[in-house]
Structure 1
C-alpha cells in the first residue's frame, strides 16, 4: 500500500530492502520482486524479464521510499518477538512468513514520509492563499473602479479600503 501527496508529486511506500540494497514495493507468493538481474535469485519470468524474485526469508530490512528519491531510515528484521522494538526500528517477522511489516511499522514509516512531504504540502496552502489574494485584489480593483464611476470620492474609497485618501488615489487613479 502506498500514499500520495495532495500535489501528486510524491508517492511513498514501505520498501523491502534486498541484501544488495535494492528497494522494491512489490511481492509475490514466491518472494519480493526487484528490478535488475544479479543472477543470484530466481528470474521473475517472461512477463517480468528485467526482474528477479528474492525469497521473503532474505529480506532483513525495510525503509520508507518516495518517487522523488527520498529514502527513510532503515528498519531491521529481528529473530524473535522479544527483540522487536518500534522505537529502535526493529520488527519481528517470522522466517517462513511473507516479509511484510506490521501495521504499526507501516504507520511509523508513513509518519516519517509525511514529515518528508510537509514542505510541499505547506506550499499548497501558500499557493491557494496567493490565488485567493490575486482574485480578491482583482475584485477590489473592479469594485473601486465601479465606486469611482458612481461618483464616490477618493476619501470615501480610502476609508472603505482602510487606507488614506492619498493612498487610494495613488493605487487606483490610473486603473
Structure 2
C-alpha cells in the first residue's frame, strides 16, 4: 500500500530490503519481488523476467521509499516481541510470517514521507494562490475599464481600489 502526493509527482511506500540492499517493488505469496537477477534467488518467471523472489524470512529491514528516489531511515527486523520498539525503529515480524510491517510502522513511515513531500505540497499552495492572484488582477483590470467607460473618475477608481488617483491612472490609463 502506498501514498500519492497531491501533485502526483511522488508516490511513497514501505520498501522491503533484500539482503543485497535492493528495495522491493511488490510481493507474491512466495516472497518479495526485487528488480534484477542475481542468481541467488528464485526467478519470478515469465510474467516478471527481470525480477526474482526473495523469501520473506530473508527480509531483515525496511525503509520508506519514494518514486523520486528519496529513501527514509532504516527499520530493522527483530525476532522477539520484547525487542520491538518504534522509537528505535525495530519491528517484530516472526520468521515464517510475511515480511510486512505493522500498521504502526507503516504510519510512522508515512509521516516521515509527508515531511519529505512537505515542500512540494507547500508549492502547490503558492501556485494556487498565484493563479488566483492573476485571475483577480485580470478581473480588476476589466472592472476598472468598465468603470472608466461608464464615466467614473480616476479619483473614484483609485479610492475603490485602495490606491491614489495618480496610482490608478498610472496603472490603468493605457489598458
| Per-residue CA distance 1:43-94 (angstroms, 9 max, x = gap) | 1112111111101000000000000000000000011100000010000000
Q: 1:24–1:32: 8 Å Cα contact kept in structure 2?
A: yes
In the other structure, the counterpart of 1:5 is 5
SS at match of 2:73: coil
What does 1:1-175 correspond to in 2, within 5 Å?
1-175=1-175
Structure 1 counterpart SS, 2:136: helix
Q: Using the TM superposition, give the Cα deviation of residue 143 of structure 1 relative to its aligned residue in structure 2, in angstroms.
A: 0.4
Query: Is residue 64–residue 113 contact of structure 1 (8 Å, CA) maintained in 2?
Result: yes
How many equivalent pairs are there?
Answer: 175
Q: Structure 1-normalised TM-score?
A: 0.99
CA distance in structure 1 between the aligned counterparts of 2:135 and 2:47, rounded to whole angstroms: 52
SS of 1:24 mapped into structure 2: coil
Q: Secondary structure at the match of 1:73?
A: strand
Distance (whole Å) between structure 1 residues aligned to residue 76 and residue 153 of structure 2: 73
d(CA) in 2 for partners of 1:14, 1:79: 20
Q: Is the 8 A contact 1:3 1:11 kept in 2?
A: yes
Q: TM-score, normalised by structure 2?
A: 0.99
Rounded to whole Å, the distance in 2 between the matches of 1:23 and 1:51 is 12
Residues 22-55 of structure 1 deviation map (CA, whole Å, 9 limit, x = unaligned): 0013111111010101011111112111111101
Q: How far apart are the structure 1 equivalents of 2:66 and 2:171?
A: 47
Gaps of 5+ in 1: none
d(CA) in 1 for partners of 2:7 and 2:102?
28
